[in-house]
A and B are shown apart, each in its own frame.
Chain A
Amino acid sequence: MPVINLQPYSSPSYFLILLLGLLPIMIGLYHGKRFRVYETIFSLAFLVLTFGGDHWQQGVALIIYIVYQFILTICYVHYRKQKNQTNIFVGAVLLAILPLTVVKFTPLLANGKITLGFLGISYLTFKTVQVIMEVRDGTIKDFDWKLYLHFLLFFPTISSGPIDRYRRFKKDYETIPDRAGYLEDLEKAVHYLFLGFFYKFILGYLFGTLWLPPLQHWALMQRHAFGGLGLSWALLGYMYDYSMYLFFDFAGYSLFAIAISYFMGIKTPPNFNKPFAAGNIKEFWNRWHMTLSFWFRDFIFMRFTFWFMKKRWLKNRIRISQIAYLVNFLIMGFWHGLTWYYIVYGIFHACAIIINDIWLRYKKKHQDQIPSNKFTKGFSVFLTFNVVCFSFLIFSGILDKLWFM
C-alpha cells in the first residue's frame, strides 16, 4: 500500500488538494453558514495527511499529547471553579510544559538516537499554557471542550503558527462574517496566499536553495581564517543571506497559514510586519515573529514583572525590567532548542534590548542635545538590521560547525 504523507505547504499538490477541500467551507461561509461537521472531518483528514504514512509515530505522539493536555486542562478548569491556589496553578503550568521539555531533552540524553514529539509540539504548548493561565485569571470562564480541541488542532497553524489566542479564536469561530465581510476576507486570503508563494517559493528559494549552500560551503572552507575564528567575507555573506532566507521562508509559511485561516473565516493574527524596517530592537520584536513575541510579552514578561513588583522584591523598576528581559529571552532561547547557540541568541537579544532601553532613557533625558533627523533615523534602521542579522548568524548554528566540528 502506498504510504501517504504530505508536508504542509510544501508542494503544488498540497495546495491543490487543500483548496479543493476548502471549497465547501467557503461556499458555506459565503452563504452565512459554518458546516461544523464537514470542517471537523476536513481538518482531521489533513491532520492524517500530515501525521500519517511514514510519519505515523508523530501522529501517535500527537494523539497522546492532545489527550494528556485535554485531561490536564479539564481537571484544572474543574479545580479552578472551587479553589484558586497558586501552587496548583504552577503545577498545572509545569505539567503543560512537561511533554515539550521531555521532547527537547531526550535527544541530548540519547545522543540524538531517539526523537519523540511531532511537528508543531512547540507551538501547541503555547496554546495549552495560555489557556491554563487564562483559566487561572478567570478570563476564560465558559470552557468549551469541543472548541478547545478545535483550537488546538486548527490545522492551518498547527505546525508552525502563527500562535492564536483561545478567546480570539472563539470569537471568530462563533461569529460568521456577513457576505461583504467574508468577500473582503477572501480577497485578503488570496493576497496573502500569493505573497506567501512569492516569499517562500521564489525569494526563499533564491536565498535558501540557490545561494545559501555555496555561501555556507565557502564560509566553512575558511574555518582557519582570522586566527582560527573563521571570520571571513563569505561568513558575512552567509549572515545576510541566511537572515533573508529565514525571513522569507518563515514569513511565507506564516502567510500560507493566515491565508488558509481566512478562507475558513478565522482571522489568524499576522506574524511579520516589515521587521527589517525597525528602528530599534524593541520595535523589531513588535514586527518579527509577532505572535511569539507578543505571547512572551503577555505571558512571561508582563506576568514576571507584575509578580515581582507586587511582591515588592525590588524597588528599582529598571532593574526589574532588565531581569525580566533576561528571563524572557532565555526562555525563548530554550524554547528554540537546547543548543548553546539558541541560548546565546536569547541572551544576545536580552542584552540588546537592555542596552536599547538604557539608550532610550538617555535620549529622553538629553532630548535637546541629540539630533533627530532623516539621517539618524536611517542610521538606526541600519544598525538595528545589522544587530539582528548578527543574532541570526548565531541562531543559524554555523558558528557551531565553524568552531566545534
Chain B
Amino acid sequence: MKAGKQLWRTFGPVLVAVLAALALFATPWRGLKISSQTVKEAAVSLSNNVYRGEKIKDVAVKDNYVPFIGSSELSRMDALHPSVLAAKYQRGYQTLLLGGPGSQSLNHYFTIQEMRTQLRNKKIVYVISPQWFTPQGQRADAFGYYYSALQAADWLLQAKNTKADRYAAKRLLTMPSGTSSLLIETATKKIAAGRPLLMVEKLMLTQKQIILKNEDALFSTIDLDNNWQHIQNEAKKLPATDNNKLLDQVATTQARQETKDNQFDIKDSFFKKELRGGRRLPRLKDSQTRFDYRRSPEYADFQLVLQQLAALNCQVEFVLPPINQRWVDYTGLNMTMWRQTTKKIKQQLTSQGFTNIDDLSEDGNQSYYMEDTIHIGWRGWLRMDQSVKPFLTKQQAQPDYQINDYYLSQAWQQKIVK
C-alpha cells in the first residue's frame, strides 16, 4: 500500500485543513469571549467592523452601553463629547458610538435591526443630520462602505411582507453592494415583490449567516482605532464633579484655545486642513444658496428607522444639531429652507409618538456650539448633554408609538412642510 500512503500524505493535510476551516467558520460557535476592555475600546472606536458587525454591539448593549447613533459629528471628540462625559462621571451608562461620515438612515436601519434582540425596550440617542436629506438621499458608495452581508442576511431571515420591508428591499436593490451576492440579491428581490423565501433559500442564508457571524466574532476586534486612550486624556481635563457651570468653563477655555485663526470660530486644525487655511474660502462663498434638504428619499429611509425603533419599543432621544451661523451667512445657506427641513423632520417624529426631541437647530449662533462648519462640539456637546443626561439617567415614561406608513410614500418624500 505504498501508493495509498502517498495519497494520504498528499491529501491528508488538505482534508485536515478543510475540516478545520469548516469547524471554525461553518459551525455556530461564535468565537471567543470578548473582554470588557475590548468592549470599552470598541464602543468608542467608530470602527466600521463594529458598525457592520454584530457581536461587539450585542455584548456592549447587554453591558449597559447606550447606542449613540449619528454620523461624522461622533468623531469630534473634545473634552465635552458624550463618551468623555460618560467615561469621567459615574452616570450608569457608557456610550456605544455607531456611525461615521456618510452613514445615514438606511445604514442605521440595517444596523439597528441587526441588534433587535438586545435593543428591545432599551434607550438610544439618535443624532439626525439635516445634511442627510439631499435630493439624491443616501449615496451608494457610502452605503456600500457601511453595509455588510451579515446585516443583509439577518434582515432577510426576519423580513415580512410589510410595506416597510418591501420598501427596504427595494432600496437595498438600488445599491450596488446590495446586489453583490447572488443569494442575497435573489432573496431581496422576493421580499421586494412580497413573495416568501423558499425553504432552501432560508437554509442557505442561515448557513451564510453562521459563517459571517463567526467571521465577525473572530475578526471584528482586530485593528480598532485607539480612541479610548484619547478619551481618557480628554477626561483628565474635566472637573472632578459633574457640574454644569464648571464644565462650561472647561468647554469655553478649550474652544477659545483651539479657534484662534479664523473668523468662523472653526477649530484651527479643521480650518487649516479642510479649508486650506482659508485658501479655499473664496470658492465657497455663497456656494450653498441652492442647497435643499426638504425633498429627499432620506425621509422614507428615516421612516424605516422609526418603525424599527417603534417595533422594538425603544426609548429614543433625537437630537437636531445646530449649524454654524457664521458659516451659514458666508455660504448663503437658505435659513427658511433649513427651518422647513427641521419642521418636517419634527412633524414626522411627533406625529408618530417620538416626543423626546432636543432641537438645537436654531442655536448655531451660540458661541462655541460648533466645532467646525456643521459639526457640533465643545459647548454644543454640553448643551446636548443637558437633555441627554436626564434622559439616560432617569426613568422615562412608556412610549406610545403610532407608526404611519404614509411617511414611506413618495408624496411625503417630496412634500414641503411650511
Contact = CB atoms under 8 A, between A and B. Distances in A.
Direct contact of A and B (CB under 8 A): yes
Contact of A187 (B6, B17, B182): B6
Given A2-B182, A183-B3, 18 more contacts: A2-B186, A5-B182, A179-B3, A180-B3, A183-B6, A183-B7, A186-B7, A186-B10, A186-B11, A187-B6, A187-B9, A187-B10, A190-B10, A190-B11, A190-B13, A190-B14, A194-B14, A194-B17
A3 B181 CA distance: 11
Nearest to A182: B3
A3 B13 CA distance: 35
Contacts of A2: 182, 186
Interface in B5-64: 6-7, 9-11, 13-14, 17
A183 B182 contact: no
A190 B3 CA distance: 16
A108 to B, nearest CB: 26
B149 to A, nearest CB: 13
Chain B binding surface SS class? helix
Contacts of B186: 2
Nearest to A53: B182
A183 B10 CA distance: 8
A2 B6 CA distance: 42
Contacts of A186: 7, 10-11
Interface string A1-19: 0110100000000000000
B6 to A, nearest CB: 5
22 contacts: A2-B182, A2-B186, A3-B182, A5-B182, A179-B3, A180-B3, A183-B3, A183-B6, A183-B7, A183-B10, A186-B7, A186-B10, A186-B11, A187-B6, A187-B9, A187-B10, A190-B10, A190-B11, A190-B13, A190-B14, A194-B14, A194-B17
A5 B180 CA distance: 12
Nearest to B13: A190
Interface in B182-241: 182, 186
Interface in A162-211: 179-180, 183, 186-187, 190, 194
Contacts of A194: 14, 17
Contacts, number: 22
Nearest to A3: B182
A11 B186 CA distance: 19
A180 B4 CA distance: 11
Nearest to A186: B10
A190 B13 CA distance: 10
A194 B14 CA distance: 9
Interface in B305-344: none
A179 B14 CA distance: 20
Nearest to B7: A183
A3 B11 CA distance: 33
Contacts of B3: 179-180, 183
Nearest to A54: B182
Nearest to B223: A210
Contacts of A180: 3
The 10 closest A-B pairs by CB, nearest first: A187-B10, A183-B6, A186-B10, A190-B10, A2-B186, A190-B14, A179-B3, A183-B3, A2-B182, A190-B11
A183 B1 CA distance: 13
Nearest to A2: B186
Nearest to A5: B182
Contacts of A190: 10-11, 13-14
Contacts of A5: 182
Nearest to B183: A2
Contacts of B11: 186, 190
A71 B259 CA distance: 77
A126 B17 CA distance: 37
Contacts of B7: 183, 186
A179 B13 CA distance: 21
A5 B10 CA distance: 31
Nearest to B211: A12
Contacts of B17: 194
A53 B209 CA distance: 25
Contacts of B182: 2-3, 5
A3 B189 CA distance: 13
A5 B182 CA distance: 9
Nearest to A4: B182
Nearest to B14: A190
Contacts of B10: 183, 186-187, 190
Contacts of A183: 3, 6-7, 10
Contacts of A3: 182
A323 to B, nearest CB: 48
B204 to A, nearest CB: 11
Contacts of B14: 190, 194
A179 B9 CA distance: 15
B179 to A, nearest CB: 11
A185 to B, nearest CB: 10
B372 to A, nearest CB: 19
A2 B185 CA distance: 10
Contacts of B13: 190
A194 B9 CA distance: 15
Contacts of B6: 183, 187
